[in-house]
Structures are given as C-alpha cells and as structure tokens.
Amino acid sequence: MSSRLLPFYATLAIFVLAYGVCVFQFPNMLSTRVAGNLLTDNAFLGIVAVGMTFVILSGGIDLSVGAVIGFTTVLIAVLISWYGIHPLAAFAIALAISTAFGAAMGVVIHYLDVPAFIVTLAGMFLARGMAFVITTDSIPIRHEFYTTLQGLYLRLPGGGRFTLIGGLMVLVFAFGIALAHFTRFGSYVYALGGNKTSAELMGVPVARTTIGIYALSGFLSGLAGVVFSLYTSAGYSLSAVGVELDTIAAVVIGGTLLTGGVGLVAGTFMGVIIQGLIQTYIVFDGTLSSWWTKIVVGLLLFAFIALQRLLVVLSDRKRLLRNTPT
Amino acid sequence: MRKFMPGLRKAAPQLVSLGVILFFNWLAFPGFFDLRIQDGRLFGSLIDVLNRGAPVAILAIGMTAVIASKGVDLSVGAVMAMAGAVAATMTVAGHPPPIVLLSALAVGVACGLLNGLLVAVLELQPIVATLILMVAGRGIAQLITEGVIVTFNDPGLIFVGTGAFLDLPMPVVLAAALALLAVLVVRRTALGMLIESIGVNRSASTYAGINSRLLIIIVYAFSGFCAALAGIIAAADIRGADANNAGLWLELDAILAVVIGGTSLLGGRFSILMSVLGAIIIQAMNTGILISGFPPEYNLVVKACVIILILLAQSASLGGVAWLPRRIPAAKSKEA
C-alpha cells in the first residue's frame, strides 16, 4: 500500500523543494500574501479538479469541464444582468443545470456503453456551443451582492487575504477527501476504477455510481463556474478554454493513476498548487514568458507518469518474485 | 463493380448523411453545386468544402491508423502548431522551401516517434502519453516563434496552402495523394492487417510473432507526419504561423472524423477512406451552417448533436445495451 502512496509523497517533496527554491530566490514568496493569492487564483481550478479526481479514480475522463465553466459564467451573467434575477437564485439554477448535464453524460456512458472520452467530448461541444448561442459577448456583472461576496476575506497575519473563493476551494477539498475515504460512494468509486467487472460482481451499483460520479463532476464544474464569475465579475463564453487539460494535469501530477483505482484527493490539491506555484514564479521572475508554464507542466506530467509506470513495473516484479516457488 | 459493392453498402449511412447535408446546403444556397474555372483553378462551394476539409482529412488519415492500433493521438493540434512555427521561422531566416518543408515534416515525425516510444516502450496509456505533448507542444511552438505571429511571403511555401495543381487546390491534391498512398500501403501489404491485429489484442499479436512495438512506433510517427503536413498547409494558408491558434481543437475534429467514418475507438477494423469521408462530412456541415446564414455559434451545438446521434446509431447496431453481455469485437477480415 505504501508504494501506491509514493507518487503522492513525491508530489509533496517536489512541492516543498520547488517552494524552497522559489523562496531562496525571491524571499518575498514566503508570505501569507502569496499563499492567499495562490488559493484565490487557483480556486476554480481546484474545485473542478476535485470532481475530475473522482472521474479519473473511476477509470473515466471528463473533457467537458472547461466548457461547463464557460457556460455557467455566461448563464449566471445573463440571468443577473438581463433578467434581474438575484445572484443566489442564478447560482441555484446554474448548479442544477450543470449537475443534470453531468448526470446525463453519465447515463449515456453507462447505458450506451460508449467510451467516456467521446461522450464528454460531445458534452464539451454542446456546453461551449450553448454558451455561444446565448451570447458571444462578454457580459459584466454589476450587483451589490457580488461586491459583498468579493469583499469577504479573512485577514491573515502578514497582510495576506484568505478570500471567500479560496476558502470555498479548501472546503470542497475537505468535502472531497471525506467523500472519497469515509463514505460508501467513495469506496464504490475506487472499486469501479480498480476493476469494473469484479466491482459489479461484488454488488457495487455500477449504474448509480457512474451517474453519480459524472453528476458530481458536473456539479463541481458548475460551482467552479460560479467561482470563476465571482473572480472575474463577468460571463464570457470563451472563458476557461483548455481548463480540462490543466485539470487532468493537476490530477496526474497529484499522483492519481489515469487507469483508475489509485490516488488521493489530497494529491490533486498539491497538483493544483504546484501549477499555481509555477505561474507565481514566472510572475515574480518577470523575464520568463507565460508559455514556460505549459512546458514545465508538460515536463512534470512526463516525470510523474514515468515515475508511476516505474512503480507499477517494480511492484509487478516484486509480486512475481514472491509468488515464484524457489 | 461487384468488388466495390460491399464497400459501398458499408459506407451507405455516411454517404446518405453526406447527401442529406449537401441537399440542405443546396436548399439554403442554390448555387452550392456551381463550379467555374478562374485563374487556372476550380472555384465553387463544393471545392471550398474539400479545400477547408483537407487539413482535418490529413489529420484523420494518421489518426485512423493510431486509433486502429487501439491508441489515440491528442497531440496532433500542438504538432501542427509546432510544424507551422518551424516552417515560418525557417522561411523568414531565408532557407529554401525544400529544406523548410523537410525540416517541418521531420519535426512532426520526431514528435510522433516520441509519442510512439512512450506508448510502445514505456507502455503508457496513449491518452496520457500524447497529452504530454499536447500540453507542452504549444509552449514549444511559442518558444520557436518567440511569442509572435511569424508572417512570411515566400511563394514556394504559400503555394502549398493556396496554389493549384490540375485545377484543384493544393491542399486537396495533397490530402488525396496521401489518402491514396496510405490506402495502397496498408491494403496492398499486410501492414493494415497487422495494425488491426495489434488493435484487437496486442499481446496475442506479439505472441503470434508481430513486432508490435516497432509497428506502434511507426503508426504514431505516421500520425506526427500527417499532423506536420496539415500544420504546413494551415500556416501557408494564412501566410503565418500562429502558435496559439494553429490547429486548436483540430485533434477533436480528427477523432470525430474517424468515429463518423465507423472506425471503433476500441481499435481493430479501420478504413482510411471512410475517415476522409468523415472529415468531408464535418466540413460540409460547417460550410452549410455558414452559408445558410445561421450564426456560426450554432456550429458546435450541431456538431455535438451529430456526435450523439452517431453514438446512438453505433450503439444500437452493436446491440450495446448495458444489460446484455458485451459482444467481443471479433477480428473481422479486412474489406476496404
């Protein structure tokens, strides 16, 4: 079991090391301001990554998350600015729609037995397309409730701000960890990702669990959309393009196996924060261009996948040695 | 003629949908089928569909081989951007077109080799292995162009994107030639069958004496080559390399074209010509939405609905209802 947690420890070590290097170079990075901003700037990515962790743990993939975030921001902006609906009601409507959308994809994946990859690809086109159909303009959100929400923060010692959306991300991660490790649903997800056939034979309700997983991912994408609209005070159909890739990268860097069955929600948190750290470093440096983020994330992805592969090979060999009568 | 009948019958759903789409296009725009020759090149909406669809068709040719081997190549869009960036910067630096073309294609093949090594030797899942290059590739393309859109005026390179050969636009000629060559190579030799057998069951194929490792590497290298060719065409078409937007989301269109063409994402039986047909169907749909005066925003929604319909049709024809025992995809004999 401990070897399965090795990728998580490796992520943790890399994070500590990377943060150490950053602080060594720019002592100002060791401040609560930077820590608070890391949480705030990556809040939507973290929230959506929790949902993606469950999807990947179950052996699936959800390519629609970025498009659902974009759709949600547009929907909320239109409901508030054009129809004068109270933001809380708009949030409820958006979350209901995104959850239903995820559940519908789960239904198609399970009952039609189509690869999750292609179903969520269609979902991505559909969500992005619906956002375009509503409007292609960027709609600003001006509402005193939004200003109130954006002004809410805890002042940390040292001048840092622990904002509402950063706190929401931490809450979602706590909820995700509890759901994965202390509920029946969580163990069903791990069982499904380990081996679908044996899970089914052991009595795991595959249909309900699959639909639940994608509904959860849809709900969290919607929530990330809410956070994104709070973060930018606008709704735009092209927002969060490519976030699905950042999310998958965060989950993999966090030590979750893409084959499913192995991984930790807490690891995903580290994956998100490491990506945020790279961006913060680039901002602090000032001479590097932002495309270095992509290259470094790509290299990290490769390193982690290679590490996981190595561990699997090693554990297979060990098992083989143990089972061979000598 | 009799030899072509089974092929035609198999392609019937795709041909009928293409016909229906073209019919609607004709309803929306009565001049849709008009063709005329001007400045030594055919013009008309129909030619436009082929011309615009050529890059996706080229991607789909490579993608078909990859998907048949039970893989998928997500990096083709990023490879397009990289090849375009290499071609543009080298042209600006003053290298002659043949060297530029060869280097850009070599970049694509190198990317494909990397993917192939990750999949075949490190035995990573194809989605993951190619995701690495998909994420990093665009960054590398930005690195090559140094973050700006590199524009060029070299007539040799521009010819690849906008020139004409035998009255046909160059991209169409290139796509057709590549498709023909690929079909000849995979169907007149055992290569196609070997790829199918790897896609159905890789370990069984290896035990049967197929060098599956080498074949998988070749398949991904071929996909990288196709992506580079598509990238050169895309760059030559706009006379510039845009590292951010060149080939963006085209990997999804290429996969969609392969799926519409009837090749299963689970590997095995494949048909390159059907994938090309799939690419043409997608483009006919795009063009139809544009000329019928619908706002282009509906494009994605329509595309999504088409994918869902195709999934339903495929699932129904396989009897793929969850409570029935799943049918094992048998290694059918080739007939393409």
Q: What is the CATH number of the domain that holds A70?
A: 1.10.3470
Which residues, numbered 305 to 324 in chain A, qualify as contacts with chain B under a Cβ-Cβ cut-off of 8 Å?
A: 305-306, 309
Does B136 touch chain A if contact means CB atoms closer than 8 Å?
yes
B171 is a domain residue: yes
A68-77 residue pLDDT tens: 999 999 999 9
User: Looking at per-residue confidence, does B191 or A323 come out higher?
Assistant: B191
Interface contact flag, B311 A258, Cβ < 8 Å: no
Interface contact flag, B311 A128, Cβ < 8 Å: no
pLDDT at A325: 57
* pTM for this model (two decimals): 0.80
A228-266 residue pLDDT tens: 998 888 888 888 777 888 898 889 888 888 778 888 898
d(CA B29, CA A106): 39
Domain count, chain A: 1
Pick the closest to residue A296 from A8, A3, A22 (CA basis): A22
Contact B203, B196 (CB under 8 A): no
B195 is a domain residue: yes
Q: A302: distance to nearest CA of chain B, Å? A: 6
d(CA B272, CA B61): 6
Interface contact flag, A111 B133, Cβ < 8 Å: no
Q: Sort out which chain B residues have CB atoms less than 8 A from A66's CB and list them.
A: none
**The two structure tokens encoding residue B289:** 């939405």
Residue A326 has pLDDT above 70, yes or no: no
B165 is a domain residue: yes
What are phi and psi for residue B248, nearest 5 degrees?
Answer: -65, 130
Pick the closest to residue B80 from B186, B184, B226, B213 (CA basis): B226
3-state secondary structure of A123: helix
Pick the closest to residue A203 from A184, A179, A175 (CA basis): A184
Residue numbers of the domain that contains A73: 2-323
Residue numbers of the domain that contains B226: 53-279
pLDDT band at A324 (very low <50, low <70, confident <90, very high): low
pLDDT, averaged across chain A: 85
Q: Sort out which chain B residues have CB atoms less than 8 A from A295's CB and list them.
A: 136, 139-140, 143
Residues 6+ apart with CB under 8 A from B95: B103
Q: Sort out which chain A residues have CB atoms less than 8 A from B298's CB and list them.
A: 129, 132-133
Nearest Cα residue in chain A from B255: A118
Does A123 touch chain B if contact means CB atoms closer than 8 Å?
yes
pLDDT at A50: 94
Pick the closest to residue A120 from B321, B14, B311, B12 (CA basis): B311
Region of residue A286 (phi > 0: left; psi between -120 and 50: alpha; otherwise: beta): left
What one-letter code names the amino acid at A85? I
Interface contact flag, A301 B322, Cβ < 8 Å: no
B153 is a domain residue: yes
Residue ranges of chain B with per-residue pLDDT less than 70: 1-10, 39-40, 314-336
Q: Which of A111, A115, A297 sits opposite B265 (nearest CB)?
A: A115
Residues 6+ apart with CB under 8 A from B271: B10, B64, B261, B262, B263, B336
Domain count, chain B: 1
Which residues, numbered 73 to 132 in chain B, qualify as contacts with chain A under a Cβ-Cβ cut-off of 8 Å?
A: 122-125, 127-129, 131-132
pLDDT at B321: 40
- Give the ipTM of the model, two decimals please: 0.71
Helix (H) or strand (E) holding A264: none
pLDDT at B331: 39
B81 is a domain residue: yes
Pick the closest to residue A301 from B86, B76, B139 (CA basis): B139
Does B300 touch chain A if contact means CB atoms closer than 8 Å?
yes
Which residues, numbered 140 to 199 in chain A, qualify as contacts with chain B under a Cβ-Cβ cut-off of 8 Å?
A: none
